[in-house]
Amino acid sequence: MATAREALLTFDKVWKTYGEGEAQVHALAGVDLTVEAGEFVAIMGPSGSGKSTAMNIIGCLDSPTSGRYGFGNVDAGRLDRGARATLRNRFIGFVFQGYNLLARTTAAENVELPLIYRGVPARERRQLAMDALEQVGLESRANHTPAELSGGQQQRVAIARAIVSRPALLLADEPTGNLDTARSHEIMQLLTRLNAESGLTVLLVTHEADIAEYADRVVSFLDGSIVSDTAARAAA
């Protein structure tokens, strides 16, 4: 979709409006934002600031009311629901605060799930899953179920599942929210390494300033607008 140093994501005066008349709410109010391929960007802001709305549009879960959302060279904001789903499934990986692993399946089987939906043959699926688990340091836990893994290990499996299809973008929504401090920093070090070694573009939503510092940039939302966009890790 995009090569290094090209814009992977572009918001051009993006508005998202809910309701009508006196009940109308502008969740996003003419937002401009560019994220280059290979960047690591943290998104911050209080509840109701617009950051979740922005992430839903970026993740192709929603579309703008007006303005343009570009993903690579695609005008993603104008795609219909089916085309957005195709783009999402092929080019975007998701990691959430809850690990969302299937309880009765092994780590490797959980990682294989996106590949099943894409029709990848079983032998190739298993090899790709094992490669992804190796990237997150869990190849030795491939046959363990989630109940046999710690919280940090479960999140590593979730990250492996998100990257197994080699997406252009990883959206991480509060990925350390359920973890203690030590495990949180282990997860952030892993995301930093994946970003540095494979050029994976990472967008991270977090409420924690120390977690945001792992990113190259911190973009802060308030009342539907971007109020700051500053260097983080690069300036540290």
Q: pLDDT value at position 4?
A: 46
* 97 falls within a domain: yes
With beta carbons less than 8 A apart as the criterion, state whether 142 and 131 touch: no
Q: pLDDT value at position 21?
A: 86
* 164 falls within a domain: yes
Per-residue pLDDT of 191-217, as tens digits, reads 999 999 999 999 999 999 999 999 999
* 1 falls within a domain: no
* 104 falls within a domain: yes
Q: What is the DSSP string of 125-158?
A: HHHHHHHHHHHTT-GGGTT--GGGS-HHHHHHHH
Closest CA to 33 of 60, 11, 8: 11
Per-residue pLDDT of 36-84, as tens digits, reads 999 999 999 999 999 999 999 999 999 999 999 999 999 999 999 999 9
Residue-number span of the structural domain to which 100 is assigned: 7-235
In the predicted structure, residue 3 carries a pLDDT above the cut 50: no
* 83 falls within a domain: yes
3-state secondary structure of 227: strand
* 126 falls within a domain: yes
140's CB contacts (< 8 A; 6+ apart) are none
Q: How confident is the model at residue 232 (pLDDT cuts 50, 70, 90)?
A: confident
In the predicted structure, residue 178 carries a pLDDT above the cut 50: yes
The model's pTM = 0.91
In the predicted structure, residue 20 carries a pLDDT above the cut 50: yes
Q: pLDDT value at position 38?
A: 95
Distance separating alpha carbons of residues 211 and 43, to the nearest angstrom: 11
In the predicted structure, residue 235 carries a pLDDT above the cut 60: no
Per-residue pLDDT of 137-166, as tens digits, reads 999 999 999 999 999 999 999 999 999 999
* 2 falls within a domain: no
Segment 95-102 mean pLDDT: 92
Q: pLDDT value at position 233?
A: 59
Question: How many domains does the structure of the chain reveal?
Answer: 1
Q: pLDDT value at position 5?
A: 67
In the predicted structure, residue 234 carries a pLDDT above the cut 50: no
Tokens of 94: 């998701």
Three-class DSSP labels, 42-84? EEECCCCCCHHHHHHHHCCCCCCCEEEEEECCEEHHHCCHHHH
CATH number for position 104: 3.40.50.300
